[in-house]
């Protein structure tokens, strides 16, 4: 187990922690059907993901491979209404969990698929430095 100091040093030289790699892989795998765009390096600033993209190879060798995602705060009113149709609602009582789900599990999964399809960062990857904020209109 690495110390906090060792983790900070790894971060300085660009080595991703295993928990960050795992989180990023989980997120990217869920987004594969929706052709998210990722930044790998200056040679591949906008790689469009698909079923044949072997993104895990970049992550395994500590390449940045950061998806371009939309912050949850960028959701339009129209998008909020569509998302709420899956049983999700705004949680006004807890800033750490801005959305809560009321209803059947099938609708939870439909809502998460909808977030992936619309490239929203519901896992906080932008804040953790594991994703980049998508420029407006990137996914239109």
- Within a domain: 139: no
Number of domains the chain contains: 1
- Within a domain: 140: no
Tell me if 66 sits within 8 A of 39, measured CB to CB: yes
Q: 100, 70, 71, 69: which is closest to 86 by C-alpha?
A: 100
Segments in the chain forming alpha helices (H): 4-12, 18-31, 55-60, 77-84, 105-117
Tokens 């997120």 sit on residue: 27
- Within a domain: 12: yes
- Within a domain: 138: no
- Within a domain: 26: yes
How far, in Å, CA of 126 to CA of 128, rounded?
5
- Within a domain: 122: yes
The pTM of the full predicted model, rounded to 2 decimals, is 0.79
Using one digit for the tens of pLDDT, what is the confidence trace for 5-64?
Answer: 665 565 554 667 888 888 988 898 899 889 889 888 788 788 787 656 666 666 655 666
Using one digit for the tens of pLDDT, what is the confidence trace for 108-138?
Answer: 889 999 999 999 999 999 999 999 999 999 9
Domain span at residue 21?
A: 4-133
């Amino acid at each position: 187990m690495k110390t906090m100091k060792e983790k900070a040093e790894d971060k300085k030289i660009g080595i991703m922690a295993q928990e960050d790699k795992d989180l990023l892989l989980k997120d990217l795998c869920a987004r594969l059907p929706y052709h998210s765009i990722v930044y790998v390096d200056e040679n591949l600033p906008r790689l469009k993901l698909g079923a044949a993209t072997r993104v895990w190879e970049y992550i395994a060798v500590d390449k940045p491979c950061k998806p371009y995602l939309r912050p949850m705060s960028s959701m339009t009113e129209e998008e909020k209404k569509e998302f709420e149709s899956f049983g999700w609602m705004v949680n006004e009582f807890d800033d750490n969990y801005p959305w809560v789900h009321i209803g059947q599990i099938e609708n939870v999964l439909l809502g998460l698929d909808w977030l992936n399809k619309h490239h929203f960062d519901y896992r906080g990857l932008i804040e953790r430095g594991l994703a980049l904020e998508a420029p407006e209109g990137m996914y239109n």
